[in-house]
Structure formats: structure tokens, C-alpha cells
């Protein structure tokens, strides 16, 4: 299997459209259908949003999104580029609780949309894995079953005459 590795650097949350185009090109290349494409797109944008919200600093933040393909599926590694300062330490209690609630909701969404997720201990990177190797297998099984049904119906009609 030939290795397919791609990388995207996003500077600031205003460049999320670059991420959308990046994910769309990858899904088009691998013939990922609309429903699963939506899962990949929403999960990756939410993960980028989490890293931007966790690491609000006065400096311009960059996030590196790398894509890799393995026999299991599509892997998106989203990591913080430069992590000098962290504004979470300067928040008051109410802001911290609001942030925790929003983060737990966002992480729940991502966990529901991905097949595997790994969040680093220091919240500097998120790895999303989407299983696509079984998609073609399931489609093949469906086609085989449809053909079997067709031939069974054809055989029944022939025997009755």
C-alpha cells in the first residue's frame, strides 16, 4: 500500500476554511460518501476548535493538521504548533466552568463521530481515526447478497415453468 501523507498549517481560527477544503480533497480522493464525509469534516473542525479554545494566548496560534492513511483507515493528527502561553491559568472560576462544559460537549461530539480518538495528556494534540477499510467490504457484502437474492428469484421462476 502506497503511503499518502499530507499536512496543513492553520494560523488562527479564521482559516478553518482551509481545513474544510483539505478534508474535502482527501474524502474525494478516497471516495468517501456524503454521510461519512460529514462525520470527518465535523470531527476535524471541532478538534481544531478545541485546540484553539484551550490555548487562547495573545500570540498568533498555529495548528498543524496532518493526514495519513493506513490499512485501518484515515488518520488525522491535529496538534498545536506553538504553545508558549496559556490563558486558562488566568481565567476566573466561572469562565473555567463554562469552558469545561463546552469542551465536554465538543469532545462528546467528536467521540460520537470518530471510530478512535486520542487526546494527549497536555491537550496539545488530538488524533482522529476513521475506519474506512470496512466500508468497501460492507458494500461488497451488500452486492453479493443482492446478487444471491436475484439468482434465487430467477431460479424459483425457472423451476415453476
pLDDT digits (tens, 9 = 90+) for 19-78: 999 999 998 888 887 778 889 999 999 999 888 887 665 456 789 999 998 877 899 999
| Helical H segments across the chain, by residue range | 16-29, 34-54, 93-113, 133-160
All structural domains of the chain with their residue ranges:
5-133
Taking the C-alpha atoms of residue 85 and residue 23, their distance in angstroms, rounded to an integer, is 29
Axis crossing angle, helix 93-113 with helix 34-54, rounded to the nearest 10: 160
Compare 149 and 55 and report the one with higher pLDDT. Answer: 149
The pLDDT, as a whole number, for residue 120 is 84
The pLDDT, as a whole number, for residue 90 is 57
Q: Which CATH class is domain 5-133?
A: alpha beta
Answer yes or no: is pLDDT of 140 > 90.
Answer: no
Amino acid at each position: 500500500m502506497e503511503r499518502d501523507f499530507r499536512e496543513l498549517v492553520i494560523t488562527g481560527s479564521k482559516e478553518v476554511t482551509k481545513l474544510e477544503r483539505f478534508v474535502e480533497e482527501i474524502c474525494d480522493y478516497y471516495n468517501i460518501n456524503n454521510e461519512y464525509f460529514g462525520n470527518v469534516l465535523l470531527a476535524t473542525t471541532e478538534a481544531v476548535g478545541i485546540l484553539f479554545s484551550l490555548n487562547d494566548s495573545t500570540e498568533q496560534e498555529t495548528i498543524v493538521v496532518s493526514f495519513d492513511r493506513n490499512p485501518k483507515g484515515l488518520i488525522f493528527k491535529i496538534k498545536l504548533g506553538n504553545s508558549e502561553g496559556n490563558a486558562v491559568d488566568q481565567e476566573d472560576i466561572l469562565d473555567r466552568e463554562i469552558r469545561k462544559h463546552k469542551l465536554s460537549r465538543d469532545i462528546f461530539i467528536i467521540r460520537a463521530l470518530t471510530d478512535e480518538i486520542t487526546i494527549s495528556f497536555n491537550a496539545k494534540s488530538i488524533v482522529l481515526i476513521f475506519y474506512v477499510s470496512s466500508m468497501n467490504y460492507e458494500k461488497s457484502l451488500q452486492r453479493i447478497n443482492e446478487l444471491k437474492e436475484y439468482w434465487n428469484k430467477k431460479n424459483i421462476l425457472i423451476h415453476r415453468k
